Structure 1
Amino acid sequence: MTTDKGVIVVEVYPDRAPLTAGLFLRMVRENRYIKPAFYRCVKLMPPGGAPIGMVQGGETAPTDKALPPIAHESTNQTGLLHRNGAISMPRFERGTARGEFFICVGDLTSLDEQRPQEGVDTFGFAVFGKVVEGMDVVRAIHEIPPSLTVGQESMRGEILDPPLPIVLEAL
């Protein structure tokens, strides 16, 4: 991933998260991301600690090149956890991931699959790789001030305006 802030190298694990890693790699290899960018930064400040959160990227324009959603691969299935530098795929309901991605800044264990609770989605998100070079670039993106007015109410204060374009390449 190349941005104006620098290069991020991600190692993907198709052997441990075949559906999620496969979708991401297929999207990149087939140039299905039309205008990929980092467009969202979630910032959390734990007491007495450094800022943690995530930077989210993927498609920023409607496209007919999207692939069908994939089944959910939980962290309990794969053993891949939301630790600093993990790359994961957001979703709404299980089985709705379509290729967006986020990179963890710090350990975000609350995004891993949790103990079941009635009426609560505790399945977490699907980690499929990790940053092996460029966490300084991820942190620099995480520090970009977000817009205070752009985005749906639940995401207001998290959206980058303008988004930070990404060039995606599979090696």
Structure 2
Amino acid sequence: MTLLKTAVRALVLLALLAGCREQSKQNKPESPDPGTVSTDSAARDTTGENPVGTAGQQVADSTDAFELTEENAIDFFFDYQKDLQASRVRLTTDLGSFTIELFDNVPYHKANFIYLTRKKYFDSTMFHRVVKDFIIQGGNADNVKTARKRSDIGRYLLPPDTRKGHRHHRGTVSMPSSEIDNPHMLASPYEFFIVVTDPGSYHLDGEYTPFGRVVEGMDVVDAINQVETDDGDWPMKNIYIRKAEVLD
């Protein structure tokens, strides 16, 4: 079984990275161009903490120390998503609540988002980048608490999965890439962005992984997108995610 999972992990990584290379464009988007998505540059270390989930979903109740790493993340989420029934997450923000429906055919990114939600990672993070009529980007904060939560969960990236037929329509939830040792545009697991452009921002297709869509409360997303920002696209008044919850 271990050999089988290792083989599956290797094949998944090779297939996804190959797909990414085939679709990558000559000119990669770079911040702070307002038509691009900011990379996640938050510093992280590798301190461990108690988990939520097991390789199935029993690690959630375990008291054993557990830390996600580059070496174990794919195997972990492969097991975690097997019996995963939930597909919706509600985010309650300073400006109201909205609900995200996660795509089943992007299993690692879906499992990651639900796992982090159950770990309460997103609670008290912010929408730290807002570009008018383009995106809102969340899952980060310039405070010690958020850095510590990332540190406790672990340091890992997710392979891009851009070939499942999902496009960056209005309301699409997608995952930015990380700039940390990342020649293959691997996805930052801790952040996400939501497209507000009507009908969409299709120049992002093939560069980032759509893994869900807003199905309720798009008016709240639009309200966040209209807040006043500074020259670096950071809201002048912090917009917090007060609570993230999985809707079973």
With the shorter chain as reference, the TM-score category is 0.7 to 0.9
- Which letter does structure 1 place at the counterpart of 2:137? Q
Q: What residue identity is the alignment partner of 1:32?
A: Y
TM-score by length of 2: 0.54
Higher share of residues assigned helix: 2
Question: Displacement, 1:35?
Answer: 2.8
1:54 matches 2:132: no
Mark the CA change 1:95 to 1:85 in structure 2 (over 3 Å): closer, same or farther.
same
Cα separation, partners in 2 of 1:144 and 1:80, compared to 1, 3 Å? same
Structure 1 CA distance, aligned partners of 2:218 and 2:122? 22
* Shift, 1:101, TM fit: 0.5
Which secondary structure state, in structure 2, belongs to the residue aligned with residue 169 of structure 1? Answer: strand
Give the distance between the partners of 2:138 and 2:128, measured in 1 at CA: 6
What amino acid does structure 2 have at the position aligned with 1:169? E
Paired residue for 1:128, among 195, 206, 211? 211
Q: Which protein has greater RCO, CA pairs closer than 8 Å, 6+ apart? A: 1
Tell me if 1:6 matches 2:89: no
Greater shift, 126-135 or 16-25, is seen at: 16-25
Contact in 1 for aligned 2:128/2:140 (Cα 8 Å): no
User: Partners of 1:4 and 1:32 in 2: how far apart?
Assistant: 17
2:152 corresponds to: 65
Q: Which residue of 1 aligns with 2:30?
A: none
Aligned residues: 142
Q: Rg larger in 1 or in 2? A: 2
Residue number among 138, 161, 172 corresponding to 1:86 in the alignment? 172
Residue 34 of structure 1 and its aligned partner are, at CA, apart by 5.4
Q: Unaligned 5+ residue runs, structure 1? A: 44-51, 114-123, 149-155
Percent of aligned pairs with the same amino acid: 31
Distance 2:193 2:112 in 1: 14
Deviations along 1:90-118, whole A, 9 cap, x unmatched? 113422422200110020001101xxxxx
2:77 corresponding residue in structure 1:
none
Gaps of at least 5 residues in structure 2 are: 1-90
Higher strand share: 1
Q: Which residue of 2 aligns with 1:152?
A: none
CA distance in 1: counterparts of 2:201 and 2:153, whole angstroms: 28
**Distance in 2, Cα, partners of 1:21 & 1:163:** 27
Q: Answer whether contact 1:72 1:97 (CA < 8 A) is retained.
A: no
**1:162 paired residue number:** 237
Partner letter of residue 111 of structure 1?
L
AA paired with 1:160? P
Q: Normalised by the size of structure 1, how large is the TM-score?
A: 0.77
Aligned to 1:102: 193
Asked if residue 138 in structure 1 is aligned to residue 221 in structure 2, the reply is: yes
- Please provide the CA RMSD for this pair: 1.5
Shift of 1:144: 0.1
Distance 2:237 2:139 in 1: 14
SS at match of 1:58: strand
Q: Partners in 1 of 2:194 and 2:112 — Cα distance?
A: 16
The one-character-per-residue Cα deviations of 1:66-87 (angstroms, maximum 9, x if unpaired) are 442111111xx21111000000
2:205 partner amino acid: D
